[in-house]
Amino acid sequence: MSDKNRKRALLALLGAVLIWSSTYVSTKQAMSQVPPTTLASLVLFPFFLRDTSRGQRVPWRALAVLGLTGAFLYFTLQNWGLYYTVFPPVP
């Protein structure tokens, strides 16, 4: 890997870590106003509004199972963990 590509890859990794870690702070802030499960639902809601007018059949049952066991479960457990930690909620 060239030196230029290596620097670009390291910057991309640093950016991903900064964005990912900032979600904990913003989630903790948001939970002072919204319950954990509602927040998890609000995070995923825009994906359900996606345009499906391409004429393809959407496998809603499979998407619901994957959504509930994957992303929704992850966000709900993360939010509950942040909500019930010993640190006080951000005012």
DSSP structural state of residue 55: S
In angstroms, the CA 20 to CA 74 distance is 14
pLDDT for 52: 57
- Vertex 42 angle, CA 41 and 45, to 5°: 85
What is the pLDDT tens value at each position of the chain, 91 positions in all?
Answer: 788 899 999 999 999 988 888 877 787 788 778 887 787 777 777 766 665 556 667 677 877 777 777 777 888 888 888 777 766 655 5
Residue type, 5: N
In angstroms, the CA 40 to CA 23 distance is 12
